[in-house]
A and B are shown apart, each in its own frame.
Chain A
């Protein structure tokens, strides 16, 4: 909307919006700032804002003490693995529903959505039991699979809405040109859908990275990702603000950056295409 406004009005808008924006962002900003302070400065009263001796010490300590990189690695494996696994299962399914719809397509899509609404706590114990049975408790593979399942409906839905926008004639042209089904998906559909697939991947990585029910309940030490690592700071002996901040900053930084790139797609993914 390119409506003409007076510069004064625009200035007021700008000031107001920035004030609100900074207010909302403040806890994150404060955490990042605190991560560069010494523990003493971190709890100083009155609070110290920008003028303190910046130090990287906290990051070094966090890394050394709790082996941050291992948790990070677990998070990467679980978020990346569940996304990749989900894509492998979802791309063919989305192709199928977008280009060869049957009279059940709509029902299948809605049913998939409904599985997403199953409250996790309702099936906590069975999953727990199955995990013990198959030796999956506190393993990366177990968690990867569970998180893949949780997000699979979102992946299918997002890909479906993106695939729907690709004209079927182009795939038919590929068929006429002698492409097999595999070649059609690999050389024509996938490259054309790259922007959509990228957004799907992004959103899914974010959701998997931040998932905090199953990661807290199904891991102990070995496979614990960053969510669990941070939760371990809730015990009283972990009460060091600067170090907590450093750990938090490290845990959220990668996803914050990814998230900023994917804000538009986020809407579409999280509303199952109902708002675009």
Chain B
């Protein structure tokens, strides 16, 4: 629905965004791919030539690989479960009539806006510190021995911190979805004599299906890349080394670029598998 003139203009105006993003994607990606087939140690001799799939095999074969995959999956999985279950409950609660709804919403959403380094530090020091943290005070108040959270319950701690950051996101999206539910549907079900629990199971939950799927996918993509929270707290020790953190260590700390790049390629493949599912959902939405 336009003239040749405006179509030409449209292409010209789209071009910068496409070209720049294409460059942003292809140049580093190609480099990563190249490095992954090389023995490349910037501090110890630099580019030492092609090694085929060695890096890929070594990365998977290293004793750190499988634990890091497990750690990643545990963090992603736990945070997803926690944020979605609590998110649905919270969204249902916030959807109820109450006084000061706006303020409560603001309180609930706030953690999402806290930068990851701040939330990690605040939790690490002011809550989880075994001597001066609030949890320690609380434990002592009840006569228990304070826990050294980040070393004794490192995974639980990380999962807590990350869940706290992402719960608002899940809640907000689920709340938006609940509010878009046609209230006549619920009223009709109420008229038909459906008790609250079956109203939830038969009407609300199916309606939330798509929103939940989107929360799962978007959070997964972000959670796979969780970095600052670990960087500031455990530095990957005490079993909290995720795949992202492992690659980061290989590349920047031990300066083994070839090996790190092979790990990067694995991470990219993993993310792409998830991305395909997300794009299906979003793509469907585009047709409407």
Chain A in direct contact with chain B (Cβ < 8 angstroms) = yes
Q: Interface on A for B, CB 8 Å cutoff?
A: 1-3, 5, 10, 13-14, 16-18, 20-22, 24-25, 27-28, 30-31, 34, 43, 45-47, 89-90, 92-93, 95-97, 99-100, 102, 106, 108-110, 112-130, 149, 152-153, 156, 168, 181, 206, 209-210, 212-213, 216-217, 226-228, 230-231, 233-234, 239, 241, 244-245, 248, 251-252, 255-256, 258-260, 263-264, 266-267, 270-276
Query: In the complex the two chains form, is A21's CB within 8 Å of B28's CB?
Result: no
Known: A96-B10, A115-B21, A234-B121. A125 touches B35 (CB 8 A): yes
The stretch that binds A, out of B54-62, B73-81, B197-205, B257-265, is B257-265
Set A30, A210, A230: member contacting B134, Cβ < 8 A: A30
Q: Which 5 A-B pairs have the closest CB atoms?
A: A92-B13, A259-B113, A122-B264, A126-B31, A123-B28
Q: Tell yes or no: B69 within 8 A of A by CB.
A: no
Distance (whole angstroms) from the CB of A239 to the closest CB of chain B: 7
Distance (whole angstroms) from the CB of A132 to the closest CB of chain B: 10
Set A1, A209, A256: member contacting B183, Cβ < 8 A: A1
Residues in A with CB closer than 8 Å to B231 are 216, 231
CA distance A109 to B268 in the complex (A): 20
Query: In the complex the two chains form, is B267's CB within 8 Å of A121's CB?
Result: yes
Query: In the complex the two chains form, is B257's CB within 8 Å of A230's CB?
Result: no
CA distance A99 to B2 in the complex (A): 9
Minimum CB distance partner of A255 in chain B: B113
Distance (whole angstroms) from the CB of B238 to the closest CB of chain A: 15
Question: Do most interface residues of chain B lie in helix, strand or loop, or is the interface mixed?
Answer: helix
Query: In the complex the two chains form, is A117's CB within 8 Å of B274's CB?
Result: yes
Query: In the complex the two chains form, is B109's CB within 8 Å of A259's CB?
Result: yes
Known: A92-B13, A121-B248, A217-B252. A25 touches B110 (CB 8 A): yes
- The number of chain B residues with a CB under 8 A from chain A is 113
Query: In the complex the two chains form, is A90's CB within 8 Å of B17's CB?
Result: yes
Known: A106-B286, A259-B113. A119 touches B264 (CB 8 A): yes
Q: Tell yes or no: B82 within 8 A of A by CB.
A: no
Query: What mask results when residues 22 to 35 of chain B are scored 1 for a CB within 8 Å of chain A, else 0?
Result: 00110111011001
Set B107, B179, B210, B268: member contacting A119, Cβ < 8 A: B268
Known: A27-B127, A217-B252, A275-B173. A227 touches B275 (CB 8 A): no
Known: A17-B93, A24-B108. A119 touches B271 (CB 8 A): yes
Residues in B with CB closer than 8 Å to A93 are 13-14, 16-18
Known: A96-B13, A256-B110. A124 touches B20 (CB 8 A): no
Minimum CB distance partner of B25 in chain A: A115
28 residue pairs from A and B, CB less than 8 Å apart: A1-B179, A1-B183, A5-B96, A13-B98, A20-B104, A20-B108, A28-B114, A30-B134, A34-B126, A92-B16, A96-B10, A100-B7, A120-B225, A121-B267, A122-B265, A128-B251, A129-B31, A152-B21, A210-B113, A212-B227, A216-B228, A231-B117, A231-B231, A234-B120, A244-B126, A248-B121, A271-B218, A274-B282
Residue among B118, B186, B282 with the most chain A CB within 10 A? B118
Q: Tell yes or no: B169 within 8 A of A by CB.
A: yes
Query: In the complex the two chains form, is B2's CB within 8 Å of A24's CB?
Result: no
Query: In the complex the two chains form, is B107's CB within 8 Å of A22's CB?
Result: yes
Query: In the complex the two chains form, is B18's CB within 8 Å of A127's CB?
Result: no
**Given A14-B99, A256-B114, 12 extra CB contacts under 8 A:** A3-B183, A18-B104, A43-B132, A93-B14, A110-B282, A114-B279, A117-B271, A124-B247, A125-B35, A128-B251, A259-B112, A271-B218
Query: In the complex the two chains form, is B108's CB within 8 Å of A210's CB?
Result: no
Q: Tell yes or no: B141 within 8 A of A by CB.
A: yes
Distance (whole angstroms) from the CB of A140 to the closest CB of chain B: 18
Q: Tell yes or no: B84 within 8 A of A by CB.
A: no
Minimum CB distance partner of A157 in chain B: B282
Known: A46-B141, A95-B13, A109-B286. A100 touches B118 (CB 8 A): no
Q: Tell yes or no: B224 within 8 A of A by CB.
A: yes
Query: In the complex the two chains form, is A274's CB within 8 Å of B224's CB?
Result: no
Interface residues of B in 107-141 (CB under 8 A from A): 107-127, 132, 134, 137, 140-141
Q: Tell yes or no: B211 within 8 A of A by CB.
A: yes
Query: In the complex the two chains form, is A47's CB within 8 Å of B134's CB?
Result: yes
Residues in B with CB closer than 8 Å to A241 are 125-126, 132
Set A5, A16, A126, A228: member contacting B32, Cβ < 8 A: A126
Query: In the complex the two chains form, is A248's CB within 8 Å of B264's CB?
Result: no
